[in-house]
Amino acid sequence: MSFVEYGDTIKDGDTAIVFLGHESMFPVKVQHGTVTQTKYGVIRHSTDLIGKKYGSKVTCSKGGWVFILHPTPELWTMNLPHRTQILYSTDISIITMMLELKPGSIVCESGTGSGSLSHALIRTVAPTGHLYTVEFHQQRAEKAREEFREHGVEHLVTVTNQDVCKNGFGVSNIADAVFLDIPSPWEAIGHAKSALKAEGGRICSFSPCIEQVQRTCLAMEEYGFTEINTLEILLRVYNVRTISLQIPDLGKAAEDNSSTGFDSSNPSHQGSLCANLQQGTVQFKSGVPLREVVGHTGYLTFATKS
């Protein structure tokens, strides 16, 4: 099993996604002799998972069933254990596009955090690219190395435990892109410039506060970066619902008004007019926005090394 190469069957040691529904799924490490409890009953790894095909419908001990999915960066983002706040697909998609990443690209990242963006970057630059990711917190760095090894992508990523603002990324003049998600990104702009290739490399900084963005932009200008721009990506989700609306028969109402001398400007006649308009209802599908919408996550500042 690898996050960048699809495997047909579930093997011992794989990370799989147990899919109970669109709003209910979780990751599980497949191991001989292990069982996983769900609301539909027990899943026995030895008999229910190992050797089965990914995407299989598995019946649990209580008679309910789940699907077992092959892991992807998108599914991992939705289900990973949070060690820090993470980036979600809305921001990840624009980051990979605006940094102009492709198979073979060399990317530097700080900080690694929970590895949500890291997995997406690795999948994008595979099979010949590489990710150099720096994490200040030692335990988070060690956990990231462990996850990359379990997910079969350790050959595509190098994890370093150090302060990027003081010690940089550990590489020079080879990166096609640099991504910063740290409290004071302006302190790492010089190291980012050193890590980028001689000309044309791209940089992105993620910051939740506009004051951070302002200081970062000033630092980018100081170090000679060009094409500096800041984006904010907001996600608005719609639910499809069947709704009913009343149908006014405007033509009949207009005809009745002209033939009977109906005065619509008279307040006493307005109630009768409404009654005439409400001839029936019709049902149709409509997109209805969620009552609670996720708002601001952060600002994305992009620039190019000139």
Q: Say if residue 180 carries a ligand binding annotation.
A: no
Q: Is the peptide bond before 251 cis (omega within 30 degrees of 0)?
A: no
Q: Write out pLDDT tens, residues 171-202.
A: 999 999 999 999 999 999 999 999 999 989 99
Residue 69 pLDDT class (50, 70, 90 cuts): very high
Q: What is the pLDDT of residues 72-112, one digit of tens each?
A: 999 999 999 999 999 999 999 999 999 999 999 999 999 99
Q: How far apart are CA 46 and CA 162, in angstroms?
A: 41
Q: Quick check: 117 pLDDT over 80? A: yes
C-alpha to C-alpha distance for 99 and 109, rounded to whole angstroms: 12
Check residue 289 and give its pLDDT. 84
24, 80 contact by CB (below 8 A):
no
Domains of the chain with CATH codes: 9-71 (3.10.330.20), 75-234+295-305 (3.40.50.150)
pLDDT at 162 over 60: yes
Q: Is 194 annotated as a binding residue?
A: no
pTM for this one? 0.84
Q: Is 116 annotated to bind ligand?
A: yes
Instruction: Report whether 113 belongs to an annotated binding site.
Output: no
For residue range 123-156, list pLDDT tens digits in order.
999 999 999 999 999 999 999 999 999 999 999 9
Q: Residue 99 is encoded by which pair of tokens?
A: 């940094």
Q: For 28-42, 233-247, 273-287, which range has the lowest pLDDT when averaged over its residues?
A: 273-287
Does the pLDDT value for residue 295 go beyond 90? no
pLDDT value, residue 96: 97
The pLDDT assigned to 253 comes to 52
Q: Known binder of ligand: residue 8?
A: no
**Range with lowest mean pLDDT among 45-49, 238-242, 260-264:** 260-264
Query: Quick one: tokens of 216?
Result: 């970062």
Cβ density class 161-171: b for 16+ within 10 Å, e for less: bbebbeebbeb
What percent of the chain shows pLDDT beyond 70? 90
The first and second tokens of residue 56, run together, are 């299989």
Q: Does 115 belong to an annotated binding site? A: yes
**Residue 114 marked ligand-binding:** yes
